[in-house]
């Protein structure tokens, strides 16, 4: 199985900050990676697919990069509604595997 | 508007069974792979299974192989997850989602609690 190691597991930040979350794959997954945002009590929502393509309707302050084994999700200027938990997902091989999540807190 | 509505979650005893359902609307269901993903209380996301558009391919995480069965009825725009031999560690919110690779959108989930 491909292990997805996400860091940090939690992050304290302020409105207006720029933050970066990293996901490392235990083996190369090309760009078969998506990023999701989950707010408490809600279903996850896809933000990024193909490692760097922005999902329609998602604000441009979100961006993704990387290929192979190292990937990043960047939020350029945090807004109050961005405080949530973020997950990466690899879909290069089975079983699909998620990172353990990054909780973004004020 | 795309909607995915899960149902069937309940309290079950260890060793018991539940059939989860997901009713889809707002898109051509038969054109898409579908997935189940679960989340134990206070924990992260775990991919469970997915199924091809015509039902001919199914994939599972090892921990549910031989116990859970994913299926679909394209005439009814519905996805199912038959869960047998339930274990305490299967306690989770179960989400259905459109797509087999990078699923989106997701339903709101149905809660399965396994406890004696």
Encode pLDDT of A6-48 as tens digits. 999 999 999 999 999 999 999 999 999 999 999 999 999 999 9
CB-nearest to B44 from A32, A46, A98 is A98
Residue from A38, A75, A31 nearest A53 by CA: A31
Distance from C-alpha of B56 to C-alpha of B101, rounded to nearest angstrom = 16
* A43/B44 touch (CB, cutoff 8 Å), yes or no: no
Contact B45 A45 (CB under 8 A): no
Query: What is the structure's pLDDT at A102?
Result: 98
Residues B61-85: pLDDT tens digits? 999 999 999 999 999 999 999 999 9
Q: Is B41 on the interface with A (CB under 8 A)?
A: no
Which residues, at least 6 apart from A26, have a Cβ–Cβ distance to it below 8 Å? A2, A3, A4, A5, A69
Sorted by sequence, the CB contacts under 8 Å of residue A85 that are 6+ apart come out as A37, A38, A39, A101, A102, A103, A104
Distance from CA of A99 to the nearest CA of B (A): 8
Predicted pLDDT at A105: 94
Q: Which of A75, A81, A102 is nearest to A20 (CA)?
A: A75
Q: Which of A10, A95, A100, A103 to mutate to test the interface with B (most CBs of B within 10 A)?
A: A95
pLDDT higher than 90, residue A106? no
């Amino acid at each position: 199985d491909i292990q997805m190691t996400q860091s940090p597991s939690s992050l304290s930040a302020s409105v207006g900050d720029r933050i970066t979350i990293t996901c490392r794959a235990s083996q190369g997954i090309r760009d078969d990676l998506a990023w999701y945002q989950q707010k408490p009590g809600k279903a996850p929502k896809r933000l990024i697919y193909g490692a760097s393509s922005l999902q329609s309707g998602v604000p441009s302050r979100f961006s993704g990069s990387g290929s192979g084994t190292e990937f990043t999700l960047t939020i350029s200027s945090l807004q109050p509604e961005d405080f949530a938990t973020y997950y990466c997902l690899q879909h290069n091989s089975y079983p699909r595997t998620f990172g353990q999540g990054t909780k973004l807190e004020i | 508007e795309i909607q995915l509505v899960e149902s069937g979650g309940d309290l079950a005893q260890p060793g018991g069974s539940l059939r989860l359902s997901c009713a889809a609307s707002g898109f051509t269901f038969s054109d898409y792979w579908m997935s189940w993903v679960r989340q134990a209380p206070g924990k992260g996301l775990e991919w469970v299974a997915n199924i091809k558009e015509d039902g001919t391919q199914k994939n599972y995480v090892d921990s549910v192989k031989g116990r859970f069965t994913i299926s679909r009825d394209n005439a009814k725009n519905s996805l199912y997850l038959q869960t047998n031999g339930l274990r305490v560690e299967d306690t989770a919110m179960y989400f259905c989602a459109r797509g087999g690779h990078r699923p989106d959108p997701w339903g709101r989930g149905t809660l399965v609690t396994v406890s004696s």
